[in-house]
Amino acid sequence: MQKGIRNALMLATLPLAIGSAFGQVTLSAETRAASKLLNPGKAGAPAAPAAQAAPAGPTLSAEAKAASGKIYFERCAGCHGMLRKGATGKNLEPANTQKLGSSRLEKIMQYGTEGGMVNFDDILTKQQISDMATYLQMPAEAPPEWSLADIKGSWKLLIPVDKRPTKQMNNVNLKNVFSVTLRDAGEVALIDGDNKKIWAVIKTGYAVHISRLSTSGRYVHVIGRDGRYDLIDLWSETPTTVATLKAGFEARSIETSKFKGYEDKYAVVGSYWPPQYTILDGLTLEPLKNVSTRGNTVDGNYHPEPRVASIVASEIKPEWVINIKETGMIRLVDYSDLKNLKETTINSAKFLHDGGWDSSKRYFLVAANASNKVAVVDTKEGKLAALVDTAKIPHPGRGANFNHPKFGPVWATSHLGADVISIIGTDPAGHPQNAWKVVQEIKNHGANSLFVKTHPKSANLWADAPLNPDPKLAGSVTVYKIADLGGDAKPEVIDVAAAANLGKTKGLQRVVHGEYNANGDEIWFSVWTGNKTEPSAIVVMDDKTRTVKTVIKDPRLVTPTGKFNVYNTMHDIY
């Protein structure tokens, strides 16, 4: 396929329904009601941003349009944006898509791109791909707003604090519990990491993007891509949802307050739409304050859809680091006085995505993936420390911290658009000559990687490539011995999908998101078929021997993706 075709669209991940499809996807009555506002011609609907001028294009029936809108929610808007203005993915407004035409768009969706977009020939039918090609040539519709009053109206305190247990009412080793996203089921599975059995399955929002832990380790906070936020109490005899709300129509990130004296006091949720973050009571999820993220980009241009990408909590200040995707702005939000909220805004680069702390927890490194850079924030000084050039489209997850045998403390990221792992020096005091530069680039087994992982107790560095169109590469992982990185390091490539022994499936068996157990001697990988009617699995690898220890199979494991170990998530260990 020509390079121009392969670069025309980018990675499609898991966002929010637009148009009339919205009500088919979401779970709450208030969201279904809000979907009636999506037609800008109706009374009470918000004014739509000025649409990009385009000639009249193809049309779909109401039913096909609704179905295509649902697919756009589930697969595309996370990278291309609700308004299709682009971010990690290309701008998909009609003036651009109509130039490509239906035939070319269909081929792009069928085969994926070298830039990181997954191939859809094993996920969507030919008719769905054809309809999507038409849908993308039609004008985008502006979703409604979702105010603090709307969030409060959706809030349900299911079990008040004084009605909850005063001690742990089960015998589970909570530190080694994994919160596992069951993407297409709209659930999380809480798996006992000691016995490898599912402890409970909890109904949540669609395609939970992340699970975060309260500072105490008692509560699991989960956010669905449809904006549904659930608070789960692990002290109950069986895990129980104690509060829930709808933060917006599409969301990705949540975090809790971690500074001494604020443990479990607050939580914050960032939305893709409307572009805003909301501060909540950490024990009840009562909405307290809502802050818009609309504004100018680092280039000085106004953007109507600057989405909240990732959030982390400082342990040295009462502060959250909130990353705004489209603007390239990083906000340091001081939560010590909500009535007089203070923000420090740091210019970095577009488009901010995910990242993690260095080993000292002073510096936060975040991928500006469309700029092929990693931004480094010095949270102690409250300023940008560096912009580090990397290979194409860095996608670290939280990244991986380890002591390099030659370069000292480092942090690593893999890439969507390149088959390498970039290793960045992170010790300006002890190793100033290596700080904030790529000190080494090592080969991954393929491009289209989402996560790189290690653990302080591990001697290994692991990376996946689940969005690679080659089934063998998508089902495998790369692992390096960290001690060998100072010399002639050679990786081992392990076919994890084969170890799961799922048999033949229609969808590619994509191996995704390594996560360590609390002891750091096991790493868990999801084998995700991308189809909720087909079997999936979790493969538990012995980190020392790099051999399969256990394969977790259960009919309730519907499309497992992200896994979040309680202890490691509590303490930002990666």
Task: Tell me the three-class secondary structure of 388-401, residue by residue.
Answer: EECCCCECCCCCEE
Instruction: Point out the catalytic residue in the list 209, 303, 395, 415.
Output: 395
Secondary structure of residue 402 in the 3-state scheme: strand
* Cβ atoms 159, 240 nearer than 8 A: yes
Among 10, 117, 132, 541, the active-site one is 117
Reading across the β-sheet that carries 373-378, which strands appear in turn?
A: 352-357, 363-368, 373-378, 383-389
Active-site annotation holds for 117:
yes
- Edge-to-edge strand order for the sheet containing 547-552? 510-516, 522-528, 537-542, 547-552
Q: What are phi and psi of 220, to 5 degrees?
A: -100, 125
> Active site includes 329?
no
Q: Which of 76, 138, 541, 570 is catalytic?
A: 76
Our answer to whether residue 395 is catalytic in this structure is: yes
Q: Give the count of alpha carbons within 13 A of 217, CB side only.
A: 18
Counting every residue written for the chain, the total comes to 574
Q: Which of 80, 209, 221, 513 is catalytic?
A: 80
Is 353 annotated as catalytic?
yes
Which residues, in sequence order, are bridge partners of residue 355?
A: 366
8 Å CB contact between 279 and 303: no
* Alpha-helical segments (H) within 118-227: 126-135, 148-154
With residue 79 as reference, give the H or E element that holds it. Answer: helix 77-80
The residues, ordered by sequence, that sit 6+ positions from 212 with a Cβ below 8 Å of its Cβ are: 220, 221, 222, 254, 255, 256, 564, 569
Active-site annotation holds for 76 = yes
| Cβ atoms within 10 Å of 486's Cβ, excluding its own | 12
In the set 221, 303, 353, 445, the catalytic residue is 353
Which residues are identified as catalytic? 76, 79-80, 117, 353, 395
